[in-house]
Amino acid sequence: MIKRIFFLTIISFLYACQEKKKPQFDEEAYIKQVEKEKKEVITQVELSPKIDEEMVKQGEMIFVSKCTLCHQIETKAIGPKLKGVTERRKPEWIMNMMLDPDRMIKEDSIAKNLTKEYPSPMTNQNLTKEEARALLEYLRTQK
């Protein structure tokens, strides 16, 4: 009896410790998509007068995970405060800055001037267009 319990315990332990197959993240495809979108300049962003609450939730999660090291809503940090940014900047500008800050810093006068006030240039977070759009929707709620 004790041998059976010991044997079943060992089998259970081995089964629990085996590596579970996780869905594979195709990093190469993701990077290709991000690179493609970086080359694309956003010239028009359609904003509904009504805030998309689901997109706001997604945008807030992205903000917390990728932006809060340098940006705060209410106060300046390494980067500018973001409260009211959608009232100061056009949505196309915000999207382009999030998707390709390196190009914006080279080509856009507002972005260039921000590097004078904030000496650490914005880091490219490799957002997809969908992630940037969700982040924009979240920023629309921060007035």
> pTM for the whole thing?
0.74
Contact (CB, 8 A) for 81 and 103: no
pLDDT of residue 26: 77
Comparing 69 with 28, the larger pLDDT belongs to 69
pLDDT of residue 79: 95
Map tokens 């969908």 to a residue.
Answer: 130
Q: Is the dihedral of CA 33, 35, 41, 47 positive or negative?
A: positive
Tell me the pLDDT tens digit for each residue of 14-53: 566 665 555 677 777 766 776 666 578 999 999 999 999 9
Comparing 37 with 106, the larger pLDDT belongs to 106
Contact (CB, 8 A) for 103 and 42: no
